[in-house]
Structure 1
């Protein structure tokens, strides 16, 4: 099992913010933000949850001359994922063998670890092997394997800006958020044209995580894209080719909209997560107002998390997509009674974006990556339940990082997901995004 997704929103009362009052320093003590977040709760190894029924997707070191297929199977870790095995990075191997020296030779069956001259050496994907069953026969090297449980996909838990809370049951491309509002244009004083943005999310992969985001400004022709392949933002302006983004300001020719890249690929503490922040502004000429911020946490070759913060409560009326769902549309829900309570489920077919990633506005490189990530699997809510002991363990772990009384729905989602194979990083990730400012 690789990872599961949780999407939630915190809705708070808010006074209107001046252009910079609620900017990237957190605002004043009397002003708060309306926030909607998609957070993938990362599943990894954790000895503190050894009672979970399902093992987690992670890198392991097999014994000498043992294939990855045998290692994953014999240790009840699921099956070997060949693509993830061959995609092991130096950071992944460093985690498994701290202090190892990285080789530059032509060893077969990489990635692997071996001893040479009294040192632990690490070799990454040199041979680009695609067979999990291969073993290293000629010398006592140890294979690095990625094992994952098969047949279970996580489901994003969504709480919209309007207060709706439900579980998404589909993978694919979806309109996660959009915004459209009439704004006077300095170049057309007699008209009030509609301006806005659309944020598309690609939910894919064995663990049903967010693998890509596409931010579109139809008026200016500017697009920004990020995928979990390398966590790098790319920019396209009208007919120009895609390029790497910079800390920069991207403005429409008539000055009515802008995308201001405030933070880009900054390392989040001691983790492998890279953080970016984009400010979306709209107005007339020099009178630009802050509309929202998009904050992204991305772990290369794994998944990404994102949060949209609205600066003015009144602007929520102009929000659409999954984050604009109203809580009173009950006829679109299905219900499942589980040990953790009654779950509302939706297919969100009205928000599914038809077409390919490229036709929607994304890059060919992003489309190629996302195509490789799409896999089929059963819904997480159709997987096995958890025992009383497992639920007690999950509650204890979630309580270490989340306050049940402050964030009851997020806490319930955390308990449910830990009962179905997650580990403590679920709660850690949720807590990090709940405390994340829009800076």
Structure 2
């Protein structure tokens, strides 16, 4: 029975576009005019055309799926949803309004947010290129889609490289920080990156806690902040978008960007999206659990072939939130042993886990011996010397935001950086 007139409180609803396949889309006269305008603009090859194209594609996609990875239930109403992108969002209702065999979709509102993305107030994807002077500069406005280029076709040999920032001082700061992390501290790889450029998924930062670089303490005990949750939904859409195009992508997160990346993968897992091993992640100086990230990346079938997929200085954020006081790596190994290791390889895996445990013990013993040497040489108490050794092990230094912007290949890097700053 067609109960549309009684169920809907706004007027002017009409079916939009073809109704032969998928769900029926219903729009007001005003939104029909808006969408028809976007359809015309989308046919023009330009940045505005690509933006309009992304809107029309998003609307059409609702015929096939009423709960995309970047959607959420709005205001606690089970039939009211919102789907978010960097440059726009679509609010819609679902129900049997038109009397068809499937659930119909009613477009309630289309809100354009491109100005917010352009003004760095909303998470968005930016193309970043190197200048002749060696600095990194973003394009004038964000990209609406993640797409390959002539230099980076997005295949197995030349995957698209995307950085995801955490704590930083606005867009340009993030754009200049991420390249060294994307290139894993390798100068030759960095030179190649300067030739091709890269994409930055910029996550806006705000608040005094983030300014100080201690947002991980504020976020301990809660799953994810509203700002990061919105960013994760938009990022999840770009991941699925890349998957649908068959692209190979490497996602590198820095600092708190690891939480956004992890949650985006969780959103994909909730919708049972499998990436088929064409995408991979790298957590650089991560300030959220790399154990959670490992569970999530395996759930969506990321490429897990790289033995080294995370790197971090031993700062407070990295130790407490990222490494779970050193237990995260062991948890990852045990999870891999139980759930992802063939039975005929388990003995070797068990031996590897035991070896890791012995290595941790050796490091602790070495720290103790250095402390005893310091104590006897300078007449210090062993307890004080031990505390000094731990500090020199960079836990304190690596917690200073200005000392952990670069890619650190060893725990002494923050100390070296501090000495350079003092000497200059």
Tell whether the structures are fold-level matches, with TM greater than 0.5: no
Which has more strand, going by share of residues?
1
What's the TM-score once normalised by structure 1's chain length?
A: 0.23
Which has more helix, going by share of residues?
2
Of the two, which has the highest radius of gyration? Answer: 2
What's the TM-score once normalised by structure 2's chain length?
A: 0.23
Identify the structure with bigger relative contact order (alpha carbons < 8 Å, sequence gap 6+): 1
